[in-house]
Structure 1
């Protein structure tokens, strides 16, 4: 409606301008009429617009009131639901609190009951101990024996009564569960020994140097013995010059010192100039040469065994084993032999050959350290390997070979077995007469300390112990167990190279005469 009015006004204005422009009075009169009509229309339109506006305001107010009412209803509804939910949560919390209170009360009651029970048990325990002491005292009075004496009597009776059964059971277990293991282990060890057949050499504590002529002995001694004194002081060895033609002897328990002294003396003899200053010069030169020789020996050992290159310090320590001996056995050659044995047995068993060889080659590394470092050579060697970042499995194999730690891997057990094999080979090691006699006597004494042992003989240089028992007191089953018990005693009380075989002999002779 408003738009129509506006259009009409615009048309009227245009017509007015046109009328004025044309100067038509008639048109002007007509225009006045139209103006009046237009004014009426405008008045009507304003009135109608006012009514529309009022109507729109009323509708807007009505809509606003309606929205407010609906919003209030929605808020009331939400508040009601919220209050309901809060009430439900409060009810649940109260129920949980009630349960906790009841549980706490129950725990308090149980704790009180437990305390009463503990008190009752303690009282009963004290009463039982008192009763036990009274009974023990009465028993001691009746038997006239102490508790320890009575226990010993019972143990002896039980041992005598069930000794045959225990021995028989032991024999059955041993036969049933160890036969296959023994066969397989013997096969593995035999195969390894056959595949690695090395020469066995034994070191001695003296070295000889051949002289070009006997008059060289006087030059070695020097005026008033100054040359020989300087030589012995520098090298730490004893130089023995006797009537043996064209030979002098170097004596020292340290093979490294003896080797340096021998090379120094050979160079002095070859040079011909022998005096204190020249001896010192040759000694320093030879010492440097021997250090290089030690490194080369370590590298050669690693190459012979065929393992990955270790830390240079380990190589150097390994080379020093060339000049260490154990019961006269060259420790470096022994270590190489142990590594080869362990590697061969590991390959037969399908184990880690590299790990077995590495641990076996390094197992005596602690012997390369001087006596200033305390501890067994197995543990010291493991500490050295740990310092130079060797694997934990290698360190364990090194430290296990004297049973000072528990084995972590089967390869560690192989290292111990290979070490025993190398040490036990005929001629591999030797010992002094005094130690030998003492070991033989100790073996026989251990065997004779057991009941029913009649005689005991250590034979084969102490590598076998033969025991003759009383045949009427022991049967075959007990004889089997006796050999095992004696073996355990030897392992616990003695230190020895290799393996000792224990043989129990039970012989029953029946004699009669016909007349």
Structure 2
């Protein structure tokens, strides 16, 4: 009985060991499969990341190449424009040169034609003079040249006198303009010196007080003194203008008193002007 119980116990223990071993083996296999799946997933993620990085790098390289190509195309277009402009300039210059050469050729032909006509005319006149006067060839030529020289001298003198007359008229006109300009400038400066007086003010804010609300103060001052008050952008200065030297001086003194007093209003203006 004891041996049988022992055997059964050993069998049970052996079965339990096998079950534990199988369970452990299954657990190991499960763990290994889980690790394998995790490793495969990580590998796939790494491959995807590398693929994304490679794609991004490829796109960057492609974008860089496109930008370089675009820049090269822009440079080529610019060079093409420059070449086209140079070609246009060359065509214009060629046309100008052709036109100049054509005009020069026409002038040369016209000069040659006139020279030939003049030679024929001289020969005809020389022959006619020889036939009419009975002079020989040399005497006829000398007389004809003398006549031509006298005619050219008269024409040259007429042209010179015409130009001299034109120059004289131009000089007279320019002199008249310069004289009028000088008189105007001198008159303007002299008028400004003899018809205006300046009054210094402590600040440009005083200009607004002199003018007053809606211009009441300046109108009252001009009415009381009989002069014009000029207030412009000139800093620190007010101008009193008038042809009457006494009125202008009274206005200058009165304005200085008003500025020093500080009370500038129509009634005070009349009072100060009356006192001055």
Q: TM-score surpassing 0.5?
A: no
Q: Which protein has the bigger helix share?
A: 2
Could you say which structure has the larger radius of gyration?
A: 2
The bucket for the TM-score relative to the shorter chain is 0.3 to 0.5
TM superposition score normalised by structure 1: 0.21
